Amino acid sequence: RFNAKEIPGAPIDPLYGLVAAYEADKSDKKVDLGVGAYRDENAKPWILPVVQKATEIYNNAKKDHEYLPIAGLPEFNSAAQRLVLGADSVAISEKRVCSFQTISGTGAVYLGGLLVSQFTAQPRPYVYISSPSWPIHDQIFATVGLPVRHYPYFRSDTKTFDLEGMMQSLSSAPKGSIVVLHACAHNPTGVDPTKDEWKKIAAIMKTNDLFPFFDCAYQGFASGYLSEDNFAVRYFVDQGFQLVIAQSFAKNLGLYGQRVGGFHFVAEPGANSQSTTTNVASQLSLLQRSEISSPPIFGAQIASIVLNDPKLFTEWETDLLTMSGRIKKMRKCLKQELDRLQTPGTWDHIVNQIGMFSFTGLNCAQVMVLRERWHVYMAETGRISVAGLNEHNVAYFASAVDDVVR
Ligand code: PMP
């Protein structure tokens, strides 16, 4: 029987807790390096100019507010599919891809988790998640009843990608296990495998019959270029894997709160690939119907306008370079400041890491001192969102770091 009195309290989400603590801090020196959202040079949210244009186009068209189909806006889905797989993808032309509009990347990971858990027998396959990873991966797969294991990803001594650790873990994973792979700009470490390393990962996954579950939340943020950043996904598709992709437009279009995402299933090539895809799509429809009925309309329309208009698409690419360029510049500034202060330790990783985050190597105790003494808010893991730095606060942050590591 359901008895609410037996329900224990759950801890508050650490990152949302951090946001609340930052907002409650009255100091004018405070710095927010917690939230994984782009900030401009004045630490303010940035509406992408191309999104502003698309919004005007949308408003002028005076569209209605009818329900979208269960799978979402068709022209958004097809464009999202082309974006992540490549417009020339053989999987698309062979009609072995199906795509659903989801509640951003989180909803896409959830839908994929639900699909796997519904269509696998007990004992269910393990889901291998990088250690560390976006903490919600563990949470989502546990919620849908899939057992979670972790594979090494990051070497804290060298602050680089741990290829050997990952390969060893994947070589001993039971056949049929699911492996969550960050398509690019790994959260929280900011280190990605090189192209050659991706090839090695694909080979071991093929040999061991492991299922790739891509999480693509930062396309365009790693290199600054959309097509460069989907190398891993395209390579795995070319190798003939059946796989899924959870895609988010939160960061690369700055549509965080509009919740725009996509879930894509790609069947392996072969005689039955089209019927497999049709069957999977029909089951995803059922799952989506009972979860959200149909996805929200506004953000998908905006994304679709940008994705489907060649001129706006080019403007989007420029906006992406504005964001990734500013983040890269801040990495350099922070490193220069730390060098100038002769802060103990090596800080090359700040400039070598990519994407929105840097895994600084600061420990939990140091993070707490930064918060209490310096009003600097960052995740307990030592992750900073580099986008929170700007020319007004980077020197201040560097002196705060210098203080806590001495
Ligand atoms: N995956 C990863 C790795 C992420 O970092 C995030 C955002 N923090 C997401 C998925 C999902 O984000 P959203 O639901 O806002 O698209």
pLDDT tens for 57-108 read 999 999 999 999 999 999 999 999 999 999 999 999 999 999 999 999 999 9
Measured in Å, residue 364 CA sits from the centre of ligand 1 at 23
DSSP-derived letter for residue 402 is H
Alpha helices (H) along 150-309: 163-171, 195-207, 226-229, 231-238, 273-291, 298-308
Contact 134 CB / ligand 1 (< 6 Å): yes
**pLDDT for residue 12:** 87
Q: Which pair of structure tokens corresponds to residue 68? A: 């979208």
Q: Residue 14 pLDDT more than 90?
A: no
Q: What percent of the chain has pLDDT over 70?
A: 100
Measured in Å, residue 345 CA sits from the centre of ligand 1 at 31
**pLDDT for residue 87:** 96
134 classed as catalytic: yes
Q: Residue 318 pLDDT more than 90?
A: yes
First to last CA, the chain: 56
Nearest to 245 by CA among 184, 191, 292, 296: 184
**pLDDT for residue 402:** 97
Q: Residue 145 pLDDT more than 90?
A: yes
- Residue owning the nearest CA to atom 16 of ligand 1: 105
Enter the ipTM: 0.99
**pLDDT for residue 17:** 87
Contact 252 CB / ligand 1 (< 6 Å): no
| pTM, two decimal places | 0.97
251 classed as catalytic: yes
Measured in Å, residue 334 CA sits from the centre of ligand 1 at 25
| CA angle 94–98–102, rounded 5-degree value | 155
Contact 215 CB / ligand 1 (< 6 Å): yes
